Amino acid sequence: MQFKPAVTALVTAVALASLLSGCKKEEAAPVAQTPQVGVVTLKAQPFTLTSELPGRTTAYRIAEVRPQVNGIILKRLFKEGGDVKEGQQLYQIDPSIYQANLSSAQANLQSTKSISDRYAQLVKEQAVSRQEYDTAVANRLQSEAALQTAQINVRYTKVLAPLSGRVGRSNVTEGALVNSGQANAMTVIHQLDPIYVDVTQSSVALLELRRELATGKLQKAGNNAAMVKLTLEDGSPYNLEGRLEFSEVSVDETTGSVTIRAVFPNPEHTLLPGMFVHAQLQAGINDAAILAPQQGVTRDLKGMPTALVVGPDNKVELRQLKASRTVGSQWLVEDGLKAGDRLITEGLQYVKPGVEVKVSEATNVAPSTPAPAQATNKAADGKGE
């Protein structure tokens, strides 16, 4: 029993030591630091709105060459795949029969003309009746028509190119029999300079564009509104600009799209019929466009685009965005952001709405302004991906 005071003193000492140790740990706990984020201050800038649309090239004019007289092919006078000029001879059909018909028609005309001339004198002297003279004149006119027909048939034995362009392969060879009005073409000529490019645009996008132009949200692109640029199948740009010719007056019921036709110069025949291309059409100008770096745009659980911005009190705010398309490495934002907003592009994983942050200029965004031709129709509202 003499040890109870000692035990009590020991317990008291241990309890006091534990209490002091806890106080020291509480004093050593670090104070939470304010997170630092990198921001980009958004600016309104003029932006030419373009639409990138898929399409295919089509020959400006196509001529299917067919014979207009019957006969045997004697010669082919062009190189397959080469260029031909309008009026250049392509084939020679055996003209023997038609030459003979021409000679006969010339002789018949000479005979009927002689008779009609002689009757013209005799009818004045009343040596022949008026009816006989009229018959002689009619026979002369028929002979003249027969001569013209014979001359045309002889000319048709020389098959000529109806237009200038690139001629395809020959479907007939020397010795082949051809007939006037046959279904199969002897060859086909494509005029490639200039050349058409037919692209399709959805009727929904066309209606939206017209609505924005009507409300003044977009301005017309002026004299260059009808200019079109082209990107080839391999991704390289076509170095000549085209112009818009027309758009269809009806919507394709199966695809819900409208066909738009542009014409391009093609002096080097770089574009061939049937090639798949991408055309950039200038639609209008937005004088106060907001272009937000893609690093600062994320999506919520519903797939809608969102962004975090730093408010005037240096607290984080969440914004719901409406963005229609990408422009290089940026989004064209229609609603949700405005000029002067400080968009967070660095440190997004460390902050949430309502948190106070320290602000610095972002280092993960290149200070560049993309060209309008880089715009695409990739939607950022969850509908275009």
Q: Is the peptide bond preceding residue 67 cis, with omega within 30 degrees of 0?
A: no
Whole-number Å distance between alpha carbons of 319 and 99: 87
pLDDT band at residue 39, thresholds of 50, 70 and 90?
very high
Percent of the chain at pLDDT exceeding 70: 82
Whole-number Å distance between alpha carbons of 379 and 382: 7
Residue 219: the pLDDT is: 56
> Pseudo-torsion of CA 146, 152, 156, 157, nearest 10°?
60
C-alpha gyration radius of the chain = 42
Tell me the HSE value of 251 on the side-chain side, using a 13 A CA sphere.
12
pLDDT at 338 over 60: yes
Whole-number Å distance between alpha carbons of 76 and 94: 12
What pLDDT digit, counting tens, does each position of 273-298 carry? 999 999 887 767 778 888 889 888 98
Q: With H, G, I as helix, E, B as strand and everything else as coil, classify residue 47.
A: strand
- When comparing pLDDT for 246 and 93, which is higher? 93
pLDDT at 380 over 80: no
CA-to-CA dists, residue 318 to 155, 300, 342, angstroms = 81, 11, 12
* Full set of structural domains in the chain with CATH: 39-58+192-374 (2.40.30.170), 95-156 (1.10.287.470)
pLDDT band at residue 383, thresholds of 50, 70 and 90?
very low
Query: Of 52-56, 87-91, 288-292, 339-343, where does the model show the most confidence?
Result: 87-91
Least confident of 58-72, 143-157, 295-309, 365-379: 365-379
- Looking at 197-344, list the stretches that DSSP marks H as alpha helix, in order from N- to C-terminal side: 203-215
pLDDT band at residue 326, thresholds of 50, 70 and 90?
confident
Residue 216: the pLDDT is: 61
Residue 211: the pLDDT is: 73
Residue 112: the pLDDT is: 92
> Per DSSP, what are the bridge partners of residue 202?
257
Mean pLDDT, rounded, for 310-334: 86
Look at residues 3, 342, 53, 16 and name the one whose alpha carbon lies nearest to residue 202: 53
pLDDT at 136 over 50: yes
Least confident of 3-17, 114-128, 164-178: 3-17
DSSP label at residue 111: H
pLDDT band at residue 379, thresholds of 50, 70 and 90?
very low
Whole-number Å distance between alpha carbons of 130 and 113: 16
Whole-number Å distance between alpha carbons of 71 and 78: 19
What pLDDT digit, counting tens, does each position of 169-197 carry? 999 999 999 999 899 999 999 999 999 99
Q: With H, G, I as helix, E, B as strand and everything else as coil, classify residue 203.
A: helix
Kindly report the average pLDDT of the chain as a whole number. Answer: 82
Whole-number Å distance between alpha carbons of 172 and 334: 61
Least confident of 8-22, 146-160, 289-303: 8-22
Residue 370: the pLDDT is: 45
- Bridge-based pairing of strands 36-41 and 358-361 is parallel
What pLDDT digit, counting tens, does each position of 225-242 carry? 567 889 998 889 999 988
Residue 11: the pLDDT is: 46
Cβ neighbors of 35 (< 8 A, separation 6 or more) are: 347, 350, 351, 355, 357, 358
Residue 170: the pLDDT is: 95
Q: Tokens at residue 84, please?
A: 């031909």
Q: What phi and psi, each to the nearest 5 degrees, are found at residue 50?
A: -125, 160
pLDDT at 98 over 90: yes
What pLDDT digit, counting tens, does each position of 55-69 carry? 999 999 999 999 999
Whether the Cβ atoms of residue 147 and residue 72 lie closer than 8 Å to each other: no
